[in-house]
Structure 1
Amino acid sequence: MVLAAGYGKRLQPLTSTLAKAVVPFLNRPLLDYTLDWLSRCGFTEAIVNLHHRPESVRAHYRKEQFGIDVHFSVEESILGTAGGPRKVLDRLGSRVLIVNGDVATTINPGALWKHHSSSGALATMALHAGPAWREFPGIKIDKDGCVTHIPGVGAGESGADDVASGCFTGIHIVEKEVLELVPENRFCGMVDSIYARLLEERVPLHGQVVSGSWYEIGTPDRYISCQLEALHCEEFPLAFEGYQRIRPGGYGRGLVGPLPAGISPPFMIDKQVKLEEASLISGVVIGSEAYVDRGASVLNSVLMKRAKIGAGAYVERCIILEDGVVPSGARCVNQVIAPEVLKKT
């Protein structure tokens, strides 16, 4: 089950008109990567819950996508990370893999599934201990993999037997009987309500530190950083379908004219993009039909479809939404720029 019902408030205004699960990631809807990942890992069916901007998700997906049968569960009132799965309990098997809809990953769920099956736990959380996890609270586990402490929810206590910690990736395996603890038709969070209860009642709850890449795009800063890192590492084959590898870390397709001399990787440039000469471009993901005028500098930024950067403008760590225009000579740093905002300024 893929959780895609949330409002994505921290990503606004990117999520004003889109569900977070279909915000572009390397010029494809983020959910593409989740469904492709599930298919590559052997899954054949997925339920995707929807609430905020459900039409933006439905518009992208047929019943079968990437070899996965996709079913939607629309929530009239948002039900939370536990309430969403509880709503479709009768459509789930005895054990379910639950994945947050705002992540892209190469984690192998097979190892997680194997650990869970042999542990006797009612739920097993995939934990990540790479550099990125330090932005998030660390969940602690003992030598047997039992979760001993979940920060921020008052559950469990760290102890001398703790041997590892990592942030919760939003990927977990859950037994059906756990979902039966969730109240019906009410908002309920999995970690702060259900997993906290399991810890308090000393019911087996496990965590496993997993290998593989994990990108969570929940804030504008991470939205930019995760794409540039994934582009540099070239980790998602799906992202590069149809693109030409121009140089290490640099990809383009259907370009209008030659690339300017001032461009350097990592970069991904979609079709019908025009980049004028004497522009300085480095660390960018640029959507189709975008335009960068002469002498502009665009650094560590994401430009969506039909975004336009005026002559001599300076853009750094910005997200320019569809049809957004940065005027000539403007200086924009650490901003999310929507068309309606630019019209006012």
Structure 2
Amino acid sequence: MKALILAAGAGTRLRPLTDTCPKPMAPIAGQPLLAWTLEWLRRYGVTEAALNLHHLPDVVRAGLGDGSRFGIRLRYAVEEELRGTAGALHNFPGFFDQTFLVIYGDLLLDIDLDDLIRFHRQQGAIMTLALKRTDTPHSQGMIDIDTTGRVKRFIEKPAVWDGGDTANAGVYVCEPEIVSWTPPGFSDFGHDIIPALLHAGVPVYGRPLRGYLLDIGTPAAYEQAQQEWRARQEARGERGKRQEVSEARGEGQEARGERGKR
């Protein structure tokens, strides 16, 4: 599978850190944010990723290289003028020739991609959005869905919102047809493409995410990310140690067998 990682943002709210480091390369628990993203994508079978760059692009390229250490082949495009979240697709002609992912580059995440992709295919969607809950609708892309998950309404950062607390999480599963819905020049998924798809009756769906996701775009969120992610890694390490001990004792095999009987 392929992915587009949106990594062109300047991250002005994280200054002075982002004066010398692009927001997607901000260090989190010992390595850049995008390194965690690539490790997560590889676990779900992503083998190629495209990144649009703008602010300090050489820092990103130097930090990630060709992607070989992550097991993902990377390609880059530097935008002298920003093209928007959807316009970024046109940086990579011919690349999006199969079902692909779009990931916002300022997200620290460990969500179940298999669940999202499976739902997308079951529904026959052209685009499926991972959904989260929020109590700040004025700063989010807000969504209403029906009982099947089909998106009925989408408003980007509404001044007034009379719907529920469901918001766009910034992770999409898309079919290649999405590229043809994206005009040349600047275009944005939230302001332009998703509303156009809904107006045309194209099947767009939303699926509540399973797992962890945090936008690190403010100083408070960045500090939260440091604390929570380090705790998650420590907990994961402890689980791994317990697994190794149980398998050394012959307990792991039995545990797997018991699960298989259920």
Please report the TM-score for the alignment, with normalisation by the length of structure 2. Answer: 0.80
For each residue in 1:255-284, what CA deviation from the matched residue of structure 2 results, as whole angstroms up to 9, or x when unmatched? xxxxxxxxxxxxxxxxxxxxxxxxxxxxxx
Find the aligned partners of 1:166 and 1:235 in 2 and give their Cα distance.
31
Following superposition, the deviation at residue 158 of structure 1 comes to 7.2
Query: Paired residue for 1:209?
Result: 208
**CA root-mean-square deviation:** 2.2
Q: Given that residues 149 and 158 in structure 1 are in contact (C-alpha distance below 8 angstroms), is that contact kept between their aligned partners in structure 2?
A: no
2:52/2:77 contact within 8 Å kept: yes
User: Among 23, 41, 57, which residue is 2:44 paired with?
Assistant: 41
Q: Which ranges of 4 or more aligned residues in structure 1 deviate by more than 6 Å? A: none
Q: Whole-Å Cα distance in 2 between the matches of residues 230 and 166 of structure 1?
A: 24
Alignment map for 1:313-328 (pairs within 5 Å): none
8 Å CA contact 2:132, 2:166 repeated in 1? yes
| Structure whose alpha-carbon radius of gyration is higher | 1
Question: Relative CO higher for 1 or 2, CA cutoff 8 Å, sep ≥ 6?
Answer: 2
2:191 pairs with 1:187: no
Task: Return the offset for 1:58.
Answer: 1.0
- 1:87 is displaced (CA, Å) by 2.3
Q: Is the 8 A contact 2:52 2:88 kept in 1?
A: yes
**1:223 correspondence with 2:222:** yes
Offset, 1:82: 0.2
Percentage of matched positions with identical amino acids = 35
Aligned residue for 1:21? 24
Aligned match of 1:143: 147
The answer as to whether partners of 1:153 and 1:196 remain within 8 angstroms in 2 is no
1:65 aligns to 2:69 (yes or no): yes
Paired AA for residue 114 in structure 1? R
More strand by share: 1
* Distance (whole Å) between structure 1 residues aligned to residue 176 and residue 235 of structure 2: 32
Runs (5+) with no aligned partner, structure 2 = 238-262
Corresponding letter in the other structure for 1:12 = R
Question: Is this contact kept in 2: 1:230–1:236, CA < 8 A?
Answer: no
Match of 1:178 in 2: 178
Contact 1:128–1:211 (CA<8 Å) still a contact in 2? no
TM-score normalised over the length of structure 1 = 0.62
Maintained 8 Å contact 1:89/1:179 = no
Aligned ranges 1:220-299 → 2 under 5 Å: 220-234=219-233
Q: Hey, what does 1:109 align to over in structure 2?
A: 113
Q: What's the counterpart of residue 78 of structure 1?
A: 82
Query: SS where residue 226 of structure 1 aligns?
Result: helix
In structure 2, give the amino acid aligned to 1:16: D
CA contact (8 A) 2:132 2:169 kept: yes
Aligned residues: 228
Change (3 A) 1:215 1:169: same
Report the Cα distance in structure 2 between the residues aligned to 1:178 and 1:153, rounded to whole angstroms: 22
